[in-house]
């Protein structure tokens, strides 16, 4: 008798977890990440660079951005983020094994990343940018 009750509880718990997973997939994971693909670029750090990323044409209204910059810089680097309305964020990042992550509200359709190495020694960084937008 006790084992039948345990089996029912296990089956009900499994169904509840499955339903919660399906709901979270269709309401959060798919619209936020699968419909909003990231864009990638590799940049040399021998000179100042301005890189532009824009939302995809099939994306709706942008509400957030996820930006990640990693790589090896032989000097410290200044990073300036701006959109169509002007400057939004500035950061100074140490060279060598450089890691910079920016996740924040963003209401523009473009992101301009100005990378200013403090020295001309070089290096390379990989930039990944994802605009999170509502579905059209």
Distance between start and end Cα atoms, the chain: 53
Q: What pLDDT shows up at residue 35?
A: 61
The owner of tokens 């509400």 is 63
pLDDT value at residue 105: 93
Instruction: Name the band, by pLDDT with cuts 50, 70 and 90, for residue 99.
Output: very high
Secondary structure of residue 10 in the 3-state scheme: helix
Per cent of the chain over pLDDT 90 is 43
Res 21 pLDDT > 70: yes
Determine the number of helices (DSSP H) and then strands (DSSP E) in the chain: 1, 8
pLDDT for residue 122: 81
The answer to whether the CB of 16 falls within 8 A of the CB of 116 is no
CATH class of the domain defined by 39-133: mainly beta
Q: Name the pTM for this structure.
A: 0.73
Q: How far apart are CA 89 and CA 56, in angstroms?
A: 22
pLDDT value for 58: 82
Distances (CA, A) of 53 to 6, 41, 44, 50, 118: 54, 9, 17, 10, 23
| Per-residue confidence (pLDDT) for residue 53, from 0 to 100 | 94
Domain layout of the chain by residue ranges: 1-34, 39-133
**Phi–psi pair at 7, nearest 5 degrees:** -65, -45
Residues 118-131, mean pLDDT to the nearest whole number: 88
pLDDT for the residue 1? 53
Residue with tokens 């619209």: 31
Confidence at 13, pLDDT banded by 50, 70, 90 = very high
Q: What is the pLDDT of residues 26-78, one digit of tens each?
A: 776 666 665 667 789 999 888 898 999 999 888 888 888 999 999 998 889 99
Q: What average pLDDT is seen over the chain?
A: 87
Please state the rounded mean pLDDT for residues 99-115: 93
C-alpha dihedral (135, 132, 64, 47), degrees to nearest 10: -140
């Amino acid at each position: 008798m006790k084992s039948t009750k345990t089996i029912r509880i296990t089956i009900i718990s499994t169904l509840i977890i499955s339903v919660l997973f399906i709901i979270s997939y269709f309401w959060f994971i798919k619209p936020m990440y699968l419909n909003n693909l990231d864009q990638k670029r590799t940049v040399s750090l021998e000179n100042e660079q301005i890189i532009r990323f824009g939302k995809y044409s099939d994306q709706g209204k942008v509400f957030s951005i996820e930006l990640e910059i990693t790589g090896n810089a032989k000097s410290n680097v200044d990073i300036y983020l701006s959109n169509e309305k002007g400057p939004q964020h500035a950061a100074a990042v140490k060279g060598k094994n450089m890691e910079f992550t920016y996740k924040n509200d963003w209401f523009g359709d473009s992101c301009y990343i100005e990378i200013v190495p403090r020295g001309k020694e070089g290096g390379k960084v990989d930039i990944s940018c994802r605009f999170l937008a509502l579905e059209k």
